Amino acid sequence: MKKLGVAILGMGVVGGGTYKILTDNREYFRRTQKLDITVECVLERNRQRALDLGVEEERIASSIEEVISNPNVDVVVEVIGGIEPARSFVLQALMSGKTVVTSNKEMVCKHWYELEEEAKKMNAGLLFEASCVGGVPIIRTLTDGTQANHILSLVGIINGTTNYILTKMEQEGSDYASALKEAQNLGYAEFNPTADVEGFDAAYKLSILSSMAFNKRIPLENVYREGITKITAEDIAYGKKLGYKIKLLAIGKDTPAGVEVRVHPAFVPAGEMLASVNDSFNAVKLVGDSVGEVMLYGRGAGALPTGSAIVSDIIFAGKHPEIAYSTFENTKEADKNTKFVSDFTTKYFIRLTVEDKAGVLSKIAGVFAKYNVSLKEVKQEVAKANGVPLVIITHETQEFSIRKTLEKLESLEEVISVDSLIRVEE
C-alpha cells in the first residue's frame, strides 16, 4: 500500500478541519483509496492550538525548513491564507520537490504563474481545489469533467459571506449594517469584512475559474468588481415586487468579441436556480458547447467543506503520479491576443427620486432615448416627502451607455437623486 506523508501549514479553522478528516478517516482511505495518509508534521505558531486539536508535541514543527527537510513529507498543505508568509513557504516547498495543496485563492490568483513555474522545474504538483467555492468540486469539474467542451460561460454565487448577508436582508428586511453584524457574530464574516463585501474574494476566484474554463490567463486586473455595501433593503423590496432576488454574482463569458469577467450585485428572476441559493451556500452554473448547462451547489466555506476539498487534492496527488499543469501559457499578464470586453451588455434596474411635477417622466425618457437605452418597465411609486421614487428596468443595453445616461440624469434639476443602479441577469 502506498504511503503518503502530509504536512499542514496553519492549524486554524481549515487546517483543523483538514487534520480531523485525515486522522478520522485514515482507515477509510486505506480501504477505499489504497493510500495510507499520515500527518507527519504541522507548522503552527500557536502550539497550544495544535495540541488541542490532538497533534502530538513531536509533530509540531518550528520552521518551514524543518517541514521541507522531513523526508517523510510528500505533500505540503498551505492553509495560512494571505500572501506572506504563505507564498514564500509554498515556493520553498515546491523548490524542495514537495507537492503543494492550498486553499489560498488570493495567493493563487496573484502568484499562480510563479508558483507553477517553480512546480514545473521540480516536477512537483500544485493543487488548489479548495481555493474556489469551498467543498464544491468546481476545479476538478473543469479539469477532469468537462474537457470535451468549449466552456462558453460560468455564472456563480461564490462568496458565502455576501450571500448570507443578502439572504438576511431579503428574508428579514434587515439593513446592510445589521445583516453584516449578524454574519460577523456567527463567524461568516471577518472583523474586517472588506475582502468579502467589496467583492475582492469573488474576484480572486473568478480570475482562477475563468482562466481554467476558457483556457487562457485572466488576471485579476481584468475583472470588473463591485461589492454589496451600497445595496439597501429598499432596493431588495422593489426587486421583490418585480419578481427578482439579489445576489453577488461572478460572471465569466467567452464570446467572439472577447472575454467578459465581472463581479457585482445583480437581480436574478426568482424562479432561476441561482435565486434559490441562500445563506452561506454557493453555486456555479457552467455552460458548455456540448454538455449545455451544468450546475454545482454546496457549502462554499467552513472547516470540513474546505477540508474536504483539500483532502480530495491530497488523494488525487497520491493516485496520479503524472502531474498536470495549466492548459494555457501561465504568465503574470494576459496573452496579448486575449481581448477583454468592458462595455458588456445586460439589463439594468435604476432607482431615482424625482420632483413631483408634470413633464418629469417625459424629460427622463428623453435622456434614455438619447443614449439608445430602451425601457422595459417604469414604475412611479407613491410620492414621499423628499420626492417621487421612480423605478426603471431597461432592456438589454451596453454598460457605457448606462453610465452616460446616469451622468446626464444626475445633472437634471428634476432628478433629486440617482439612488441605485443594479444589473439584472436573466
Say whether 205 is catalytic: yes
* pLDDT tens, position by position, 206-221: 999 999 999 999 999 9
pTM metric for this prediction: 0.96
To the question of domain 138-298 being in CATH 3.40.1160.10, the answer is no
To the question of domain 2-131 being in CATH 3.30.70.80, the answer is no
Q: Quick check: 95 pLDDT over 80? A: yes
- Categorize the per-residue pLDDT at 392 as very low, low, confident or very high, splitting at 50, 70 and 90: very high
Q: Quick check: 97 pLDDT over 80? A: yes
CA count, 13 A, side-chain hemisphere, 27: 1
The matching CATH number, chosen from 3.30.70.260, 2.60.40.10, 3.90.550.10, 3.10.180.10, for 345-424 is 3.30.70.260
* pLDDT tens, position by position, 302-316: 899 999 999 999 999
Candidates 98, 110, 168, 205; catalytic one? 205
- Categorize the per-residue pLDDT at 227 as very low, low, confident or very high, splitting at 50, 70 and 90: very high
Q: Quick check: 388 pLDDT over 80? A: yes
Mean pLDDT in residue range 18-33:
98
Mean pLDDT in residue range 14-41:
98
Q: Quick check: 382 pLDDT over 90? A: no
- Categorize the per-residue pLDDT at 18 as very low, low, confident or very high, splitting at 50, 70 and 90: very high
* pLDDT tens, position by position, 240-265: 999 999 999 999 999 999 999 999 99
* The pLDDT of residue 269: 97
Q: Quick check: 383 pLDDT over 80? A: no
- Categorize the per-residue pLDDT at 394 as very low, low, confident or very high, splitting at 50, 70 and 90: very high
* Three-state SS letters, the chain: CEEEEEEEECCCHHHHHHHHHHHHCHHHHHHHCCEEEEEEEEECCCHHHHHHCCCCHHHEECCHHHHHCCCCCCEEEECCCCCCCHHHHHHHHHHCCCEEEECCHHHHHHHHHHHHHHHHHHCCCEECHHHCCCCCCHHHHHHHCCCCCCEEEEEEECCHHHHHHHHHHHHHCCCHHHHHHHHHHCCCCCCCCHHHHCCHHHHHHHHHHHHHHHCCCCCHHHCEECCCCCCCHHHHHHHHHCCEEEEEEEEEEEECCEEEEEEEEEEEECCCHHHHCCCCEEEEEEEECCCEEEEEEEECCCHHHHHHHHHHHHHHHHHCCCCCCCCCCCCCCCCCCCCECCCCEEEEEEEEEECCCCCHHHHHHHHHHHCCCCEEEEEECCCECCEEEEEEEECCEEHHHHHHHHHHHHHCCCEEEEEEEEEECC
- Report the mean per-residue pLDDT for the chain: 96
* pLDDT tens, position by position, 57-93: 999 999 999 999 999 999 999 999 999 999 999 999 9
Domain coordinates in residue numbering, the chain = 2-131, 138-298, 345-424
- Categorize the per-residue pLDDT at 190 as very low, low, confident or very high, splitting at 50, 70 and 90: confident
- Categorize the per-residue pLDDT at 347 as very low, low, confident or very high, splitting at 50, 70 and 90: very high
